Amino acid sequence: MTGSLSLLEVLRGAESYLAARGVENSRLNAELLLSSVLKLKRMELYLQFDRPLGEGERAPLRELVKRRAAREPLQHILGCIEFHGRSFLCDKRALIPRPETERLVEIALEIARTKSSPRTILDIGTGSGVIAVTLALELSDAAVCATDISPDALALAGENATKHGCEQRVAFTAADLLPPDTALFDLIVANPPYIPSGEIEGLSEEVRHDPLLALDGGADGLDVIRRLVDAAPERLAPGGALLLEIGAGQEKDVAALLSARKFRDISITSDYQGIPRFAAGFHG
């Protein structure tokens, strides 16, 4: 069809197409995709429902809708994600940040603010860098280091640091968990892979677009967590804290791991859904 359709008609068509293919929140997805094509804020669509859209505007939307219907993550299609009130670049190079990780950042800020300035923070497995960059922006006096084993993830994290103007304040290092130097940290924070290997195939198609390296936690999901809990004490300053995001049902095992390594004041905090999701302990 070469004529025009109203914005509302196009929006409804995209919504129906996505819904028929089982995409959850099809209306929201359609609105965000159309907002991207028209370079409008989502709420501005509601003020322009009668606006005619020609083929030149509908064709790129069709391509995006087809990609979403094929279960490509919305965040990858849009190329960005909102996290802790800021927009971050997001693509297949790293795990898509989840809403529960915003709570991890909130807990990290609570812990960091109990420390005397200047504060030193290490973000292990930084991925897209949202944790490290957010902590650097929220704690202007903090020295933040971030590691990842993936060069692609580190490149994306660096782009996000530059986007937010803190590239001079976050030191990114290629490493398998801990950086190779001997620096001590007041806080080590990590969102490690914690999904049991046998559960990977059962994840949603969208989640399986994330790098396997960022998802697979070994047979019981705790392989990386065990290594981290074992290694962290040597790199924590006196009274330093280790804060981890963990999988559902792992809280007792992780608390036991922390206790075995003589962490004190161990706590488990739930996410926004009420699921025990974050484990913290202090050392020394």
- Is residue 268 located within the same domain as residue 159? yes
CB neighbours of 133 closer than 8 A, spacing ≥ 6?
Answer: 88, 157, 160, 161, 164, 166, 170
Cα separation, 56 vs 175, in Å, equals: 47
User: What is the percent of the chain where pLDDT is above 90?
Assistant: 91
Cα separation, 87 vs 255, in Å, equals: 34
pLDDT exceeds cutoff 90 at 118: no
- Is residue 62 located within the same domain as residue 100? no
Does residue 77 belong to any structural domain of this protein?
no
Counting the structural domains of the chain, the total is: 2
Cis, bond preceding 118 (omega within 30 deg of 0): yes
Does residue 43 belong to any structural domain of this protein?
yes
- Is residue 23 located within the same domain as residue 159? no
Rounded to an integer, the average pLDDT of 157-170 is 97
Q: What are phi and psi of 32, to 5 degrees?
A: -70, -40
Structural domain boundaries, residue 16: 5-70
Does residue 79 belong to any structural domain of this protein?
no
Does residue 102 belong to any structural domain of this protein?
yes
Specify the pLDDT at position 2: 53
pLDDT tier, 154 (very low <50, low <70, confident <90, very high otherwise): very high
- Is residue 114 located within the same domain as residue 12? no
- Is residue 137 located within the same domain as residue 198? yes
Does residue 76 belong to any structural domain of this protein?
no
Query: Crossing angle of helices 26-38/55-69, nearest 10°?
Result: 140
pLDDT tier, 284 (very low <50, low <70, confident <90, very high otherwise): confident
Rounded to an integer, the average pLDDT of 21-48 is 95
Mind listing the pLDDT tens digit for each residue in 198-215?
Answer: 999 999 988 988 999 999
- Is residue 47 located within the same domain as residue 158? no
Sheet of 120-124, strands arranged across: 170-174, 143-148, 120-124, 185-190, 236-245, 276-283, 264-270
Specify the pLDDT at position 125: 97
- Is residue 261 located within the same domain as residue 149? yes
22, 47, 70 - which closes a domain: 70
Torsion over CA: 226, 230, 233, 236 (sign): negative
pLDDT tier, 1 (very low <50, low <70, confident <90, very high otherwise): very low
Mind listing the pLDDT tens digit for each residue in 246-278?
Answer: 999 999 999 999 999 999 999 999 999 999 999
Specify the pLDDT at position 43: 94
Q: Is the pTM of this model over 0.95?
A: no
pLDDT exceeds cutoff 80 at 63: yes
13, 37, 70 - which closes a domain: 70
CATH no. for residue 32?
Answer: 1.10.8
How high is the mean pLDDT of the chain?
95
- Bridge partners of residue 190, in order along the sequence: 124, 244
Cα separation, 161 vs 241, in Å, equals: 24
